[in-house]
């Protein structure tokens, strides 16, 4: 395996999202990208990075966009200009419904979308948005297979199950408050260990009506070991496919996994 497909450098930007201030959020992301660590392959932004979340359905509808709106246009420019893939989620409108829509935008402009399956019913997300029905997407980028889940999805191991080792990395944009930080870290570690994959937890920063969020962005390797390091505004890690593949072949626990189907997954 050569360096280009073995080593993958991923960065998380724990943006302190400003509620309903799209212009300020996009400006903050653009400024941070101006100081992005060198040789990054992918940058992961938090959940609903351009708008934040409100329990006001009228405000949410006012802020929502199509896939061809200014938020995704902005992300496409960033990906192209900096030569990185960019992942995150935004508030999407596919009338008559709103969705918490994840994206992976590649430097070429190739785009992949996924609507969050598990909406946070203890809050008001499930009352405002529509749940997605498609399985986790897997994007092939620079020799890595990368899956995307969103925040509350992380609590559901069957949904995230890496059946057939179809992905090498799981990225999880989130708005996960510090009050539940212990659970967040344990779930990230569990998903890494049980799926023998790297897991990137991209939580937001700052605070809002629902709590504080600082310090929860984490990157774990296939053993569930923390490998992220602070680099300016980012958390970064260089991940090795060769080491991960060696672990999978020498300790093939997936071969003993229960064989069952998830709705919508063949």
* Active site (catalytic) residues: 47, 116, 151
Whether 20 contacts 59, CB under 8 Å = yes
Please list the residues that pair with 183 across neighbouring strands: none
DSSP assignment string, 94-152? ETTEEEEEEEEE-TT--EEEEE-SS--TTTTHHHHSPPP-SPPPEEEETTEEEEE--GG
DSSP assignment string, 190-248? HHHHHHTSEEEEEE--SEETTEE-TT--EEE-TTS-B--EEETTEEEEEEEHHHHHHHH
Q: In angstroms, rounded to a whole number, what is the distance separating the alpha carbons of residues 21 and 37?
A: 26
């Amino acid at each position: 395996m050569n360096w280009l497909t073995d080593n993958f450098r991923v960065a998380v930007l724990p943006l302190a999202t400003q509620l309903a201030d799209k212009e300020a959020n996009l400006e903050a992301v653009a400024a941070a990208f101006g100081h992005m660590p060198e040789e990054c392959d992918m940058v992961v932004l938090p959940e609903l990075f351009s708008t934040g979340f409100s329990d006001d359905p009228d405000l949410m509808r006012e802020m929502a966009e199509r896939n061809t709106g200014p938020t995704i246009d902005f992300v496409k420019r960033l990906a192209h200009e900096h030569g990185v893939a960019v992942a995150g989620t935004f508030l999407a409108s596919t009338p008559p419904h709103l969705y918490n829509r994840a994206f992976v935008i590649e430097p070429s402009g190739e785009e992949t979308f996924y609507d969050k399956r598990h909406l946070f019913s203890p809050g008001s997300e499930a009352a405002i948005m529509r749940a997605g029905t498609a399985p986790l997407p897997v994007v092939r980028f620079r020799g890595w297979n990368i899956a995307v889940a969103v925040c509350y999805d992380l609590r559901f191991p069957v949904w995230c199950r890496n059946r057939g080792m179809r992905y090498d990395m799981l990225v999880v944009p989130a708005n996960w408050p510090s009050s539940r930080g212990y659970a967040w870290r344990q779930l990230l570690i569990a998903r890494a260990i049980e799926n023998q994959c790297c897991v990137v937890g991209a939580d937001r920063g700052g605070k809002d009506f629902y709590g504080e969020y600082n310090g929860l962005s984490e990157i774990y390797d296939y053993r569930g070991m923390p490998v992220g390091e602070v680099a300016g505004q980012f958390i970064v890690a260089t991940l090795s496919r060769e080491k991960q593949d060696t672990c999978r072949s020498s300790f093939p626990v997936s071969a003993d996994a229960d064989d069952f189907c998830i709705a919508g997954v063949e």
